Amino acid sequence: MSEEGTMTVPTELPLDRVTAPRVRVGLVAGGLGAYWPQFPDLLPQLRRSADRVSARMRELGADVVDVGFISDAREGAAAAEKLRAAGCDLIVGFLTTYMTATMLVPIAQRGDAPVLLINLQPTESMDHGSVDTGQWLAYCGACPLPEMANAFQRCGVPFRSVSGHLEDERAWTRIGRWVRAAGVRAALRRGRHGLMGHLYPGMLDVSTDLTLVSANFGGHVEVLEFDDLRVRVEKVTDAEVRARTDRAAEIFELDGSVNGDDLAWAARVSVGLDRLVEDFGLDSLAYYHRGLDGEVHERLGAGMILGASLLTARGIPAAGEYELRTSLAMLVADRLGGGGSFTELQALDFRRGHVEMGHDGPAHLAISARRPLLRGLGVYHGKRGYGVSVEFDVRHGPVTAFGIVQRRDGRYGFVASEGDVVDGPLMRIGNTTSRVDFGCDPGEWTDAWSATGISHHWALCTGHRIADLRALADLMEVELVEVTP
Per-residue pLDDT reduced to its tens digit, 393-409 = 999 999 999 999 999 99
Domain shared by 255 and 174, yes or no: no
Indicate the length of the chain as a whole number. Answer: 485
Q: How confident is the model at residue 1 (pLDDT cuts 50, 70, 90)?
A: very low
Where among 132, 161, 188 does a domain terminate?
Answer: 188
| 456 assigned to some structural domain | yes
Domain shared by 94 and 239, yes or no: no
3-state secondary structure of 204: coil
One DSSP character per residue, 351-373 reads TTTEEEEEEES---GGGBSS--E
Domain shared by 240 and 109, yes or no: no
Residue 15, pLDDT score: 80
Domain shared by 141 and 223, yes or no: no
Domain shared by 237 and 369, yes or no: yes
Residue 2, pLDDT score: 41
Q: How many CA atoms lie within 13 A of 328 on its CB side?
A: 33
Helix residue ranges per DSSP H, 281-344: 296-302, 304-313, 324-335
Number of domains in the chain: 2
Domain shared by 111 and 149, yes or no: yes
Alpha-carbon separation of residue 360 from 204, 298, 344, 380 (angstroms): 20, 16, 9, 8
Nearest to 329 by CA among 474, 484, 472, 433: 472
Residue 377, pLDDT score: 80
Residue-wise pLDDT tens digits, 123-171: 999 999 999 999 999 999 999 999 999 999 999 999 999 999 999 999 9
Residue 5, pLDDT score: 44
Left (φ > 0), alpha (ψ -120 to 50) or beta: where does 281 sit? left
Where among 138, 158, 188 does a domain terminate?
Answer: 188
Domain shared by 207 and 116, yes or no: no
Whether the predicted pLDDT of 117 surpasses 60: yes
Whether the predicted pLDDT of 267 surpasses 60: yes
User: What's the CATH number where 111 sits?
Assistant: 3.40.50.10940
| 16 assigned to some structural domain | no
The mean per-residue pLDDT over the stretch 13-35 comes to 92
Distance CA 260, CA 249 (A): 12
| 278 assigned to some structural domain | yes
Domain shared by 154 and 204, yes or no: no
Residue-wise pLDDT tens digits, 422-459: 999 999 888 899 999 999 999 999 999 999 999 999 99
Angle between the 260-280 and 238-251 helix axes, to the nearest 10 degrees? 100
| 103 assigned to some structural domain | yes
Domain shared by 176 and 198, yes or no: no
| 4 assigned to some structural domain | no
| 14 assigned to some structural domain | no
| 18 assigned to some structural domain | no
Domain shared by 183 and 326, yes or no: no
Q: How many CA atoms lie within 13 A of 192 on its CB side?
A: 11
Where among 135, 156, 188 does a domain terminate?
Answer: 188
Domain shared by 385 and 397, yes or no: yes
Domain shared by 235 and 177, yes or no: no
User: What's the CATH number where 200 sits?
Assistant: 3.20.14
Which helix (H) or strand (E) segment is 249 a member of? Answer: helix 238-251
Distance CA 111, CA 101 (A): 15
* Structural domain containing residue 387: 191-482
| 9 assigned to some structural domain | no
